[in-house]
Chain A
């Protein structure tokens, strides 16, 4: 990467490519700090509970974050571009409902998967159309579609539920690929790699950052801003569809209240992972670590029999604390 030693082709003064070693930068990054937090929680958990280090328990614990994190990867790109999608939980509900209807019509596992993916994509396309084509603010649009998508589920299901999914369908949410490695964990890992490459190693990812930092200047640089934003909503819808398949498969049933509140937990993971809520910065490794932190905290507190309400209080405090820390630090330093 460093070919700064090459002879200058012009007479201007030589500007070095980089001043800071990438390794130094990585060590000073948010991700590094978050990793330390994750390790600390891991150690604390293993000391607090004798059951924590059991491989099967840890494997179970991954369900706390895998489905949410899948969406969080796509959401991270969306938030970096300066948009947001609050309808992801509702997309899961609608996709799950659609799969339930397909199941009642006698569809097999492959068709159910296709229905789940297609519903996610359609919902994402709807959001994307409203935001990218008509220029509406995404926070308003997706608060609207959040009610819309879940409302359809409620109309279809009312108080009832879809149950009796085919046994092959259970593989996605209950299956193991190898020993304690779940199918969901594999999907999570593959999604992390794909989204990591997409954001950090492709032209597309570079444009996402450019749009998030200054959408006007990005447009003035010949970037098709609307097209990229539309694609990001599509991707978020698709990942919500995949999460819907996993969650429905794991629960073995569909209720209209499925994945309620997912959107906030997904956004929490993304922001905890160091993605600026204002757009323009953040990374996939950060989101991965944040997902692990979320999972570890929830699981550790669960082992200690901490009630769910207290757990959500602790998660909220963790989020605010972690977000406020850098700002407090820089304020203290400026004095």
Chain B
């Protein structure tokens, strides 16, 4: 069982994968060694999820080679990747809730008895065997739907072991786990290492990477930028490679003159999503909203924007106290919202760029309800250029743009309405680093011009780098508020998860 840790079990060379408008992978390489954990590091949009999909046979690379034990091979299907011993444990594990633990472990390769029927007894016994080998105290006969997320991870890992996987990909495995569960996962990773598995570990969390990884590989904007051993590498080294410049330059936050209150929200409540949300937003301010996924931040923002109705509470905009009942009322009141779900809620794919930009401003560009295309092009050109949009023409379908450029179109759309308050919900999630910088830059510029900005973000560096003040939400309530020196990663995380060691 003791494998040679010198030679990689799996190697990728010169992998290229393009999508319309994006070069997701641009000649990347990756080596995975038996009995070692390789951390794949990179920002959102660096190409991490694309490489996972390439490794598991979901995507076919346009160019490049895949070697298993030094022999070139291809993974035309997910089955082929599985047969080659590559298995992945995803952020949201792809398992079947309505099947039992044993069935999930053996789906697709169940032990067969007479007449080619599934031998349930053997399947259960072997499932128990495997679960025992990872110290997982689970009943193989129980339905998956009855298990928590951590147990589901165990099932996914058991499944990986059942197909005799040699390469295990863990894509943000700790994202939804509590501290205790994370500790258990680390132990499991050690066991897998001892069994000689090669592990690809993808995580945003540096503490995790330094805790369990042996090697690192860094991608940036779809390109391979470096690899090495964790020993002798510092956090600052990795950050520099990830972003391609030194850390203090990333966030172009300018000191802004914080002025009079623009928006006051008092006692906003919703029967199920949030409770007693009260805060004040000032001119020129960037107010960060931090919290775990599901803390209710987006729900609050959508209620402020008139998508959903609060059950209690009111907003005060200038001298006007009211509850906004529809998005058109919100836009008229000067509150606009850049949603997190860009593709579904942000852009209207199928319509050209300029029509997306002018959609909420038609009363401004038209005359007596009749379209004036020249005005529309002028307005669209003005705002898209300010955001440094990269597009072939303004007449191009917005759906053909990359995520980052779509985000610029959404922001341009709202700036054209000359709002007083702009709410950005995870504004840089899943967009390339160039667009990210443009969005940050622009956010700073807007605040400096006196706009009031709310930025919902789950990325601590972004919150700390951009916000003047941070509100932390937990379970639908405001947990804490920090400003100045109090804005530290530790304070934010503690407030977001509640007391130390609590289950998230």
Flag if A12 contacts B394 (CB, 8 Å).
no
Per-position binary interface string of chain B over residues 291-315, scored 1 when its CB falls under 8 Å from any chain A CB and 0 otherwise: 0000000000000010100000000
Flag if B396 contacts A19 (CB, 8 Å).
yes
Q: Provide the bound-state CA to CA distance between A84 and B417, in Å.
A: 32
Flag if A10 contacts B385 (CB, 8 Å).
yes
Flag if B393 contacts A222 (CB, 8 Å).
no
Q: Is B277 an interface residue (CB 8 A)?
A: no
Q: Is B53 an interface residue (CB 8 A)?
A: no
Flag if B370 contacts A201 (CB, 8 Å).
yes
Q: Nearest residue in A to B355 (C-beta to C-beta)?
A: A206
Q: Is B44 an interface residue (CB 8 A)?
A: no
Flag if B339 contacts A220 (CB, 8 Å).
yes
Q: Nearest residue in A to B384 (C-beta to C-beta)?
A: A15
Flag if B331 contacts A222 (CB, 8 Å).
yes
Which B residues lie within 8 Å of A213 (CB)? 348-351
**Contact A220/B307 with A15-B394, A19-B396 known, Cβ cut-off 8 Å:** yes
Which A residues lie within 8 Å of B381 (CB)? 15, 17
Flag if A217 contacts B348 (CB, 8 Å).
yes
**Contact A221/B369 with A8-B385, A10-B382, A10-B386 known, Cβ cut-off 8 Å:** no
Flag if B359 contacts A210 (CB, 8 Å).
yes
**Contact A13/B371 with A18-B393, A214-B344 known, Cβ cut-off 8 Å:** no
Flag if A214 contacts B348 (CB, 8 Å).
yes
Which A residues lie within 8 Å of B345 (CB)? 216-217, 220
Q: Is A1 an interface residue (CB 8 A)?
A: yes
Flag if B377 contacts A3 (CB, 8 Å).
yes
Per-position binary interface string of chain A over residues 3-23, scored 1 when its CB falls under 8 Å from any chain B CB and 0 otherwise: 110101111111111111000
**Contact A220/B326 with A12-B389, A203-B366 known, Cβ cut-off 8 Å:** no
**Contact A202/B370 with A12-B384, A16-B393, A216-B344 known, Cβ cut-off 8 Å:** yes
Q: Provide the bound-state CA to CA distance between A4 and B348, in Å.
A: 24
Flag if A218 contacts B359 (CB, 8 Å).
yes
Flag if A223 contacts B337 (CB, 8 Å).
no
Q: Provide the bound-state CA to CA distance between A281 and B355, in Å.
A: 14
Which B residues lie within 8 Å of A214 (CB)? 344, 347-350
Q: Is B136 an interface residue (CB 8 A)?
A: no
Chain A residues with a Cβ closer than 8 Å to the other chain, count? 39
Which B residues lie within 8 Å of A3 (CB)? 374, 377-378
Q: Provide the bound-state CA to CA distance between A1 and B326, in Å.
A: 34
Q: When the two chains form the complex, which single residue of A8, A19, A201, A210 contacts B351, counting CB atoms closer than 8 Å? A: A210
Chain B residues with a Cβ closer than 8 Å to the other chain, count? 50
Q: Is B354 an interface residue (CB 8 A)?
A: yes
Which A residues lie within 8 Å of B362 (CB)? 203, 206-207
Q: Is A241 an interface residue (CB 8 A)?
A: no
Flag if A204 contacts B360 (CB, 8 Å).
no
Which A residues lie within 8 Å of B348 (CB)? 210, 213-214, 217-218, 221
Flag if A223 contacts B328 (CB, 8 Å).
yes
Q: Is A133 an interface residue (CB 8 A)?
A: no
Which B residues lie within 8 Å of A19 (CB)? 392-393, 395-396
Q: Is A209 an interface residue (CB 8 A)?
A: yes
Flag if A221 contacts B307 (CB, 8 Å).
no
Q: Is A280 an interface residue (CB 8 A)?
A: yes
Give the Cβ gap from B129 to chain A, nearest Cβ, in Å.
48
Give the Cβ gap from B202 to chain A, nearest Cβ, in Å.
30
Q: Is B200 an interface residue (CB 8 A)?
A: no
Q: Provide the bound-state CA to CA distance between A82 and B327, in Å.
A: 20
Flag if B347 contacts A217 (CB, 8 Å).
yes
Give the Cβ gap from A5 to chain B, nearest Cβ, in Å.
12
Flag if A15 contacts B351 (CB, 8 Å).
no
Q: Provide the bound-state CA to CA distance between A14 and B386, in Å.
A: 11
Q: Provide the bound-state CA to CA distance between A197 and B373, in Å.
A: 14
Q: Provide the bound-state CA to CA distance between A8 and B381, in Å.
A: 9
Which A residues lie within 8 Å of B382 (CB)? 9-10
Within 1-54 of A, Cβ neighbours of B (below 8 Å) are at 1, 3-4, 6, 8-20
**Contact A12/B385 with A1-B373, A202-B369, A223-B328 known, Cβ cut-off 8 Å:** yes
Give the Cβ gap from A30 to chain B, nearest Cβ, in Å.
15
Per-position binary interface string of chain B over residues 333-348, scored 1 when its CB falls under 8 Å from any chain A CB and 0 otherwise: 0001101000011111
Flag if B393 contacts A12 (CB, 8 Å).
no
Q: Provide the bound-state CA to CA distance between A311 and B139, in Å.
A: 66
Flag if B385 contacts A222 (CB, 8 Å).
no
Per-position binary interface string of chain B over residues 414-425, scored 1 when its CB falls under 8 Å from any chain A CB and 0 otherwise: 000100000000
Flag if B395 contacts A17 (CB, 8 Å).
yes
Flag if A219 contacts B331 (CB, 8 Å).
no
Q: Nearest residue in B to A211 (C-beta to C-beta)?
A: B348
Q: Nearest residue in B to A280 (C-beta to C-beta)?
A: B350
Flag if B337 contacts A20 (CB, 8 Å).
no
Q: Provide the bound-state CA to CA distance between A202 and B372, in Å.
A: 9
Q: Nearest residue in B to A205 (C-beta to C-beta)?
A: B371
Flag if A210 contacts B355 (CB, 8 Å).
yes
Which chain B residues have a beta carbon within 8 Å of chain A's beta carbons? 305, 307, 326-328, 330-332, 336-337, 339, 344-351, 354-355, 359-360, 362-363, 366, 369-371, 373-374, 377-378, 381-382, 384-396, 413, 417
> Can you list 18 A-B contacts (CB < 8 A)?
A1-B373, A1-B374, A10-B382, A12-B385, A12-B386, A13-B390, A14-B385, A15-B384, A17-B354, A17-B395, A18-B395, A209-B351, A213-B351, A218-B348, A222-B336, A223-B327, A223-B360, A280-B350
Which chain A residues have a beta carbon within 8 Å of chain B's beta carbons? 1, 3-4, 6, 8-20, 201-207, 209-210, 213-214, 216-224, 280-281
List the 5 shortest-distance A-B pairs measured between CB atoms, nearest first. Answer: A12-B385, A222-B331, A213-B350, A203-B362, A18-B395
